[in-house]
Amino acid sequence: MKNLVKSFYDFNRNSPQERQERNQLYPELAKFHIALREEMSEEEYQEFFRAEKEASRPLMIPTQTNPTQWMRM
């Protein structure tokens, strides 16, 4: 099984332990977000955070289960 590392955006921001772990794993990104929070309103920051979290999710390309078939007329 793969040992996956959580994304910066996957940590629970309400948990002090998870915030600490996130900040240790991603120190530069944590500093960046601290600076953003100082510059943006809370609403702007939350919108930015949600957008970044969504963008960081891996894209799942659906596989085609049925091969394309030609229809005879």
In a domain, 51, yes or no: yes
In a domain, 69, yes or no: no
CB atoms within 10 A of CB 22: 22
Q: Residue 2 pLDDT more than 60?
A: no
In Å, how far are 8, 23, 59, 69, 71 from 28, measured between CA atoms? 11, 8, 25, 51, 56
Mean pLDDT of the region 9-20: 95
In a domain, 25, yes or no: yes
Closest by CA to 8, choosing from 20, 25, 17, is: 25
In Å, how far are 17, 57, 62, 73 from 36, measured between CA atoms? 22, 21, 35, 62
- What does the pLDDT look like over 16-69, one tens digit per residue? 999 999 999 999 999 999 999 999 999 999 999 999 999 988 766 666 665 566
In a domain, 30, yes or no: yes
Straight-line distance from the first to the last Cα atom of the chain, in angstroms, rounded to the nearest whole number: 49
pLDDT at 58: 78
In a domain, 42, yes or no: yes
In a domain, 29, yes or no: yes
How many domains is the chain partitioned into structurally? 1
Residue 19 structural domain: 8-56
In a domain, 73, yes or no: no
